[in-house]
Amino acid sequence: MKYMTTLNMWDNSIKTAIETGQIKLQRGQWLRCGTEGKRCRYVGLTSGKSIWATHWQGSPERTNSKFLNAVEAYNAR
């Protein structure tokens, strides 16, 4: 499965399509909240079908660490 171009999470149709499974994302897929600013990374869907993503943490290293911790927490659920 290939990664898609960065998706805008503030587009309600995209958000709904992810939540309902019409769009299937790989873990790590780049997302954006709005049209500007730093990208976030998709972790997964919660049991309530909310989108779990990690956001910019001030540096690439801290952002990646946050993402890896979120993936670990997601897998431990």
What is the block-wise mean pLDDT of the chain (77 residues), using blocks of 10 residues?
A: 90 94 95 90 92 95 97 95
Residue 50 is assigned to a structural domain of this protein: yes
Specify the pLDDT at position 51.
Answer: 95
Residue 52 is assigned to a structural domain of this protein: yes
Residues 6+ apart with CB under 8 A from 75: none
pTM of the model: 0.89
Specify the pLDDT at position 48.
Answer: 84
Residue 2 is assigned to a structural domain of this protein: no
Residue 60 is assigned to a structural domain of this protein: yes
Phi first, then psi: what are they for 7, rounded to 5°?
Answer: -100, 145
- Domain carrying residue 44: 7-76
- CA dist 54 and 40 (Å) reads 5
Which segments of 1-77 does DSSP mark as H helices, in order? Answer: 12-20, 60-76
Specify the pLDDT at position 54.
Answer: 97
Residue 20 is assigned to a structural domain of this protein: yes
- For the chain, what is the domain count? 1
